[in-house]
Chain A
Amino acid sequence: MASSWREVVNRIDDYRWEIPTGYKPGMLVPGLVYTSEAMLDHIWQEQAFDQVANVAFLPGIVGYSLAMPDIHWGYGFPIGGVAATRVSDGVISPGGVGFDINCGVRLLRTNLTAAEVRPRIERLVADLFTSVPSGLGSEGKIRVSEKELDQVLVKGSRWALERGYGNAADVVVTEETGCIKGANPDKVSGKAKKRGIPQLGTLGSGNHFLEVEAVDEIYDLVSARAMGIADVGQVVVMIHTGSRGFGHEVCGDYVRLLGEAVRKYGIRLPDRQLACAPVKSAEGRDYLAAMACAANYAWANRQCITHWVRESLARVLQKSEKEIGLEQIYDVCHNIAKLEEHTVGGRKEVLCVHRKGATRAFPAGHPDIPDIYRDIGQPVLIPGDMGRCSYIAVGTERAMRESFGSTCHGAGRVQSRSAAKRSLQGSVVARELAARGITVKAGSMASLAEEASPAYKDVSEVVDITDRAGISSKVARTVPIGVIKG
């Protein structure tokens, strides 16, 4: 075993580092990690390169096994991993999507300024905390029957809209318009449904959050304007959550089922968590139909939360939603597999693109992005940790050419949760944030310590790498002023 990344990784340029197929016998394609030299030591230490190499074993993988600069050790796939497989003879892997299917980010703009909101931020955070159920073991305010849950699974955001949660315009600016087609509730276990029913309309715990933020720097005025961002100081709201226990159960069910398919189809894998089946096989198609259900559940979830956020802001600021101008900028998923058309070796081909902790980043002019963003590219939403900042970017042609239209998804952890808890106290974290003008309310003090800044890479470093590598382009930076943690 090599003792340093220097013996393994080839530098392509300052932001592209290749893991040759010779690194591990069985790799079908090389690995490509978007990162800086400064970050390589950490990636090497936690053996994330090995995971990038393992993904390169997946039958039908094309191009590279990719990793974004927020890469960190996962299980099976690294977090920050992207892998595209041929639909014709390649596989789909539930582990390449992850347990929190369609974990994603939604961003809402407002006409408010930070100066207007700050005097009421304590009340606003308290109101949001009670309006949006969060935390471990929390239950939603919505109760659906199993029959109605099936409608959620098939319709996604549109189900929420029909129930009066949100505006028709929200759906237009949601990836896949908030609904992946081909969802089949019959392919989902009863246990997943039972887990999903009480958790619909909840934020959850862990790294999920709701943030009131202020724009603090704009890099691309034209794109910012297209998103309704006019000036520094403007308030936006970010929602980060996914498909809750429903998605976890779907993933668990299919990792098990596809583990059996691996034997049936004689696929050789270096890690059982990479369990997969041919995209076109019955098992592969069933997973795609179940995954679509979970993705749609997540969109309905974020759509309901959006509605409560609007009500909460209107209540606390005593203005109408229209005056506040609470319009959705965009909604992205960063744990998903999609069938997409890409150009491989000069030929257009449908690929199954796995993004596990990576965001779609389609360029200007792509038919799958809404008309209002056709000239600027798809908005990419990249949350940082609660003490630093988050970014808005747009997709690029270069991403389309080399990363299957993908870029980073966040900061990426560097410290384990228990290490963070050992070195930090939740109450101290809250006090320090308050001193910097950030009001925080969390379900538990432990979760505050787990999610504090030192536990994460600096998201600015991550986003600068993707910007300089050209796979997404920075538009604006936001800083938190109010944070709700599960």
Chain B
Amino acid sequence: MQKDFEIIDHTADVGIVAYGDNISQAFGNAARALFSLITELDSVAEVVCRDTELSAVDEESLLVAWLNELIYLFDTENIVFKRFDVAVLPGSSLRARSYGEKVDGSRHRLKTGVKAATYHMLGVEKGNGCRVQVILDI
């Protein structure tokens, strides 16, 4: 079975490669990869949800905007997410609903702080399924 995502090591930062049958699924898996760095996904319950609508100049930029939006929600509302219903729409736009819960220090072990998603070595490849890649500043 193909993995949903992989974490790639870099000296000072960290990279995400996520896969899916289509771009929407790959974007969802990239988001799961992001939160797997922040905490243990298994420890997160689906208690709250947040809706997101975004658009960008191209699909690569949309991926960066999507992940940065989630980092923003984590930073300002203290929510860790574990499940994502993502629909990437024509014209490099996206509608998503993300499920998770507020951080509870007694149950969630916070691991790595993520500052932002970058445009370095950024990629959205479509062919047989979809593979996306992004480097995070941590």
Contacts and interface: CB of A to CB of B under 8 A. Distances in A.
Interface of A: 46, 72-76, 79, 95, 98-100, 135-137, 191, 194-195, 198-199, 204-206, 245, 248-249, 251-252, 255-256, 259-260, 271-273, 275, 413-419, 444, 446, 486
Interface string B102-129: 0100000111110111111110000000
A390 B7 CA distance: 32
Contact of B72 (A74, A249, A272, A414): A249
Nearest to A207: B12
B93 interface: no
Nearest to A208: B113
B120 A195 contact: no
15 contacts: A72-B12, A73-B10, A75-B118, A135-B110, A137-B103, A195-B72, A206-B112, A245-B75, A248-B115, A256-B61, A271-B119, A271-B120, A272-B60, A416-B10, A417-B14
Contacts of A251: 116
Contacts of B118: 75-76, 95, 255, 273
A137 B11 CA distance: 24
B110 A137 contact: yes
Nearest to A139: B78
Contacts of B2: none
Contact of A419 (B9, B109, B121): B9
B49 interface: no
Nearest to B67: A252
A256 B64 contact: yes
Contact of B11 (A73, A273, A486): A73
B11 A272 contact: no
A378 B12 CA distance: 28
Interface of B: 7, 9-14, 38, 56-57, 60-61, 64-65, 68, 71-72, 75-76, 78, 103, 109-113, 115-122, 135, 137-138
A191 B116 CA distance: 13
Contacts of A416: 9-12, 14
B119 A248 contact: no
Output the residue of B61, B103, B137 with the most chain A CB within 10 A: B137
Contacts of A252: 68, 116-117
B119 A444 contact: no
A273 B14 contact: no
A272 B64 CA distance: 12
A211 B3 CA distance: 42
B61 A444 contact: no
Given A99-B115, A206-B138, A272-B122, A260 B57 contact: yes
A46 B11 CA distance: 8
B121 A204 contact: no
Nearest to A78: B12
Nearest to B120: A75
A76 B120 contact: yes
A54 to B, nearest CB: 10
B7 A418 contact: yes
A260 B56 CA distance: 10
Output the residue of B57, B72, B109, B118 with the most chain A CB within 10 A: B118
Contacts of A204: 113
B60 to A, nearest CB: 8
A288 B83 CA distance: 38
B116 A248 contact: yes
Given A136-B113, A417-B138, A73 B119 contact: no
Given A249-B72, A272-B60, A416-B9, 8 more contacts: A75-B120, A75-B137, A76-B119, A76-B120, A98-B137, A205-B113, A275-B119, A486-B113
A415 B11 CA distance: 5
A205 B60 CA distance: 28
B12 A413 contact: yes
A192 to B, nearest CB: 9
A46 B110 CA distance: 29
A95 B109 CA distance: 31
Contact of B13 (A74, A95, A205, A275): A74
Query: When A and B form their complex, which 8 residue pairs have the shortest distance between CB atoms, in order from nearest?
Result: A75-B120, A272-B119, A273-B120, A416-B9, A205-B113, A75-B118, A136-B110, A248-B115
A418 B111 contact: no
A79 B12 CA distance: 9
Nearest to B15: A75
Contacts of A255: 118-119
B11 A72 contact: yes
Contacts of B135: 75
Contacts of B116: 99, 248-249, 251-252
Given A413-B12, A419-B9, A99 B137 contact: yes
A414 B111 contact: no
A256 B65 contact: yes
B121 to A, nearest CB: 7
A196 B42 CA distance: 30
Contact of B12 (A73, A135, A248): A73
A260 B55 CA distance: 14
Contacts of A417: 14, 112, 138
Contacts of B65: 256
A241 B112 CA distance: 16
Output the residue of B11, B72, B110, B138 with the most chain A CB within 10 A: B11
